[in-house]
């Protein structure tokens, strides 16, 4: 099969379009003929590598994918060759205490497709049948692939862990990234008032088109936690979604209401920063960290995506062989929404 491969860590230049042995499904697994993959920032971090990361080379990037079933392993029921499907990228053992409790994203053997396992920038991928969800007939492969990881992540953070309620206020730090655009939509669907801090007028107008109620441009309001305070009758917001980390977390702690929850699933701005502990105890704040989501979250949120109540924002579509240009676009931060690959 054709795939995007790399043999060592580095910049986009390490990505090669080449041939790799087509993986065959084993017991309980399914081979998917992929039609679309979507890029995530994770793909860049895996390509660059981090201390302790262990990959089997050549590695194939990509967590998100959608396509048609091309072969079934033994013991697979409920699916047939030709079925249209979207892939849940969280790979779990199904047996540990966390998996048994249906908290499969806490699995002791947790793997993520495209991170520590070969991923979806390829013509075929093999995953456990339990990682597939049927795709409605008319639903596009690219839109399904683009939605998967970011909506599952945002749903798990805001709803399953954050327990967001109708009538609460939510601040989303960042206006245009995949998880943030998903968070804005989920918060609106839940009946929350949504504040967004963004870095430019273009990105904020995207947030507004998704339903954001209060827009704060941090290129004009450097001290944006003050702006949030003013806009919320000097109370602050009930929930803050901060996936930026360094540079933003001190503001997020200040922008929260008493009893507020700070949700984080990542750190696009950097991992290490100072925290003023007085905000945490003085305002009774909860800091809630999560990564990815459970199988139940995936099924629930993708159902809403299939119904059209939630929608991935699509940026550009590249052919598989141009994955390097696609990653360069993501790395430069030029995208508005999800970049996808057509396979
Ligand atoms: Zn497990």
Query: Distances from the Cα of 161 to the Cαs of 128, 250, 268, 280, 284, in angstroms?
Result: 26, 22, 21, 18, 17
Helices 295-306 + 141-155 axis angle, to 10: 130
For the chain, residues classed under CATH 3.40.50.720 are 163-289
The alpha carbon of 298 and the centre of ligand 1 are apart by a number of angstroms equal to: 17
The alpha carbon of 46 and the centre of ligand 1 are apart by a number of angstroms equal to: 23
The structure tokens 């060592």 sit at 8
Position 334 scores a pLDDT of 80
The alpha carbon of 164 and the centre of ligand 1 are apart by a number of angstroms equal to: 27
26 φ/ψ angles, rounded to the nearest 5 degrees: -105, -165
Position 203 scores a pLDDT of 92
The alpha carbon of 23 and the centre of ligand 1 are apart by a number of angstroms equal to: 23
SS3 90: strand
CA–CA dist 227, 217 (Å, integer): 10
Instruction: Tally the residues of the chain.
Output: 343
CA–CA dist 261, 201 (Å, integer): 27
For the chain, residues classed under CATH 3.90.180.10 are 2-148+293-342
Cβ neighbours of residue 271 closer than 8 Å, sequence gap 6 or more: 245, 246
Give, in words, the CATH class of 163-289.
alpha beta
The number of CA neighbours under 13 Å toward the Cβ of 11 is: 6
Residue by residue, pLDDT tens for the chain (343 residues) are 999 999 999 999 999 999 999 999 999 999 999 999 999 999 999 999 999 999 999 999 999 999 999 999 999 999 999 999 999 999 999 999 999 999 999 999 999 999 999 999 999 999 999 999 999 999 999 999 999 999 999 999 999 999 999 999 999 999 888 999 999 999 999 999 999 999 999 999 999 999 999 999 999 998 999 999 999 999 999 999 999 999 999 999 999 999 999 999 988 888 999 999 999 999 999 999 999 999 999 999 999 999 999 999 999 999 999 999 999 999 998 888 999 999 9
CA–CA dist 192, 197 (Å, integer): 16
The alpha carbon of 94 and the centre of ligand 1 are apart by a number of angstroms equal to: 5
The burial of 310, by beta-carbon neighbours within 10 Å (0-12 exposed, 13-18 middle, 19 or more buried), is given as: buried
Position 285 scores a pLDDT of 98
Give, in words, the CATH class of 2-148+293-342.
alpha beta
Position 315 scores a pLDDT of 95
Cβ neighbours of residue 248 closer than 8 Å, sequence gap 6 or more: 173, 197, 242, 269
Specify whether the CB–CB gap between 93 and 99 falls below 8 A.
yes
SS3 79: coil
The structure tokens 């047996």 sit at 95
What value, to the nearest 5°, has the Cα angle with vertex 316 and ends 315 and 317? 130
Position 335 scores a pLDDT of 87
Pairing between β-strand 169-173 and β-strand 193-198 as defined by DSSP bridges: parallel
Residue 105 DSSP label? G
Closest CA to 64 of 106, 35, 84, 93: 35
Position 47 scores a pLDDT of 98
Helices 201-209 + 178-189 axis angle, to 10: 40
Position 254 scores a pLDDT of 96
Closest CA to 153 of 269, 64, 249: 64
CA–CA dist 295, 87 (Å, integer): 11
CA–CA dist 171, 175 (Å, integer): 10
The alpha carbon of 140 and the centre of ligand 1 are apart by a number of angstroms equal to: 31
The alpha carbon of 102 and the centre of ligand 1 are apart by a number of angstroms equal to: 9
Largest CA distance in the chain: 61
Specify whether the CB–CB gap between 155 and 300 falls below 8 A.
yes
pTM: 0.96
The alpha carbon of 264 and the centre of ligand 1 are apart by a number of angstroms equal to: 23
The alpha carbon of 292 and the centre of ligand 1 are apart by a number of angstroms equal to: 14
Query: Distances from the Cα of 62 to the Cαs of 71, 219, 273, in angstroms?
Result: 20, 33, 29
């Amino acid at each position: 099969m054709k795939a995007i491969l790399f043999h060592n860590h580095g910049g986009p230049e390490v990505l090669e379009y080449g041939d790799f042995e087509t993986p065959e499904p084993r017991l309980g697994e399914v081979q998917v003929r992929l039609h679309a993959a979507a890029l995530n920032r994770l793909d860049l971090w895996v390509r660059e590598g981090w201390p302790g990361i262990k990959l089997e080379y050549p590695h194939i990037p990509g967590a998100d994918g959608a396509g048609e079933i091309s072969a079934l392993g033994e013991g697979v029921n409920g699916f047939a060759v030709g079925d249209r499907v979207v892939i849940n990228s969280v790979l779990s053992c199904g047996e540990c205490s966390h998996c048994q409790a249906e908290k499969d994203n806490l699995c002791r053997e947790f793997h993520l497709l495209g991170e520590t396992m070969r991923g979806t920038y390829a013509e075929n991928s093999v995953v456990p049948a339990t990682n597939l969800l049927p795709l409605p007939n008319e639903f596009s492969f690219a839109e399904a692939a683009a939605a998967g990881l970011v909506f599952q992540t945002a749903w798990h953070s805001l709803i399953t862990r954050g327990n967001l309620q109708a009538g609460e206020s939510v601040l989303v730090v960042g206006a245009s990234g995949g998880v943030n655009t998903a968070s804005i939509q989920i918060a609106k669907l839940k009946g929350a008032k949504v504040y967004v801090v963004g870095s430019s007028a273009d990105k904020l107008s995207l947030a507004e088109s998704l339903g954001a109620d209060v827009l704060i441009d941090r290129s004009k309001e450097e001290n944006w936690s003050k702006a949030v305070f003013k806009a919320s009758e000097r109370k602050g917001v009930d929930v803050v979604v901060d996936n930026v980390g360094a540079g933003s977390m001190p503001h997020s702690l200040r922008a929260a209401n008493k009893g507020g929850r700070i949700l984080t699933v990542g750190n696009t701005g950097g991992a290490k920063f100072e925290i003023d502990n007085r905000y945490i105890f003085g305002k009774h704040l909860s800091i809630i960290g999560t990564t990815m989501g459970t199988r139940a979250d995936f099924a629930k949120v993708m159902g809403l995506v299939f119904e059209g109540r939630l929608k991935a924002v699509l940026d550009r579509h590249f052919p598989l062989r141009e994955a390097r240009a696609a990653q360069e676009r993501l790395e430069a931060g030029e995208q508005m929404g999800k970049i996808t690959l057509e396979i």
